[in-house]
Amino acid sequence: MIEAWEPSGPGVLRLPSGRLVRGRGLRHPLPPGPEPTFGVYLLGHAPAELPWQSHWVRWPDFWLPRDSADLRTVLLRAWERAADERVEIACGGGKGRTGTALACLAILDGVPAGQAVAFVREHYARGAVETPWQRRYVARFAPVTTRPAR
């Protein structure tokens, strides 16, 4: 079994299901402790090579993902893997794109879309989901009708 994130560790968000996901900004040093087993990187350019499995979502700073279907697919995979792996979601600063993706992940975990931004701001970072269009994106992000078993 893989050691989980420390629930009180930097950037760790506990979803209602109990899954732990770490959000962070790539412009900051890697936090101490274990490395992720899977990372989702939300950047306008390909990230540097990493020693763990990862997926890059093309997403320019302050904007929206270039491919919403790709984001949904990778967030579903991240949600599934977070049940027993260390999943990390990150962008440059760790607030806008990361907060938006974490809010969408919270919706996949059962948080109503209208409450997802507030949930992430309360449990991850007050400044998460930075722009009006990111907030609208979260509000319009539909949950899956049949989620995989928890």
Per-residue pLDDT tens digits for 91-113 = 999 999 999 999 999 999 999 99
Per-residue confidence (pLDDT) for residue 133, from 0 to 100: 94
Higher local confidence (pLDDT), 150 or 109: 109
Residues whose CB falls within 8 Å of the CB of residue 75, separated by 6 or more in sequence, listed in order: 40, 101, 104, 105, 108
What pLDDT does 38 receive? 97
DSSP H helix total and E strand total for the chain: 4, 5
How do strand 12-14 and strand 20-25 relate by DSSP bridges?
A: antiparallel
Distance CA 23, CA 55 (A): 14
Distances (CA, A) of 107 to 26, 41, 61, 114, 141: 24, 19, 22, 9, 8
Could you count the other beta carbons within 10 Å of the beta carbon of residue 12?
A: 21
pLDDT mean across residues, the chain: 92
Expressed in angstroms, the distance from the first to the final Cα of the chain is 17
More reliable by pLDDT, 62 or 29: 29
Region 46-71: mean pLDDT is: 90
- Domains, the chain, with CATH or none: 19-140 (3.90.190.10)
Res 3: pLDDT: 81
What 3-state DSSP class applies to 68?
Answer: helix
Question: What pLDDT score does 136 carry?
Answer: 94
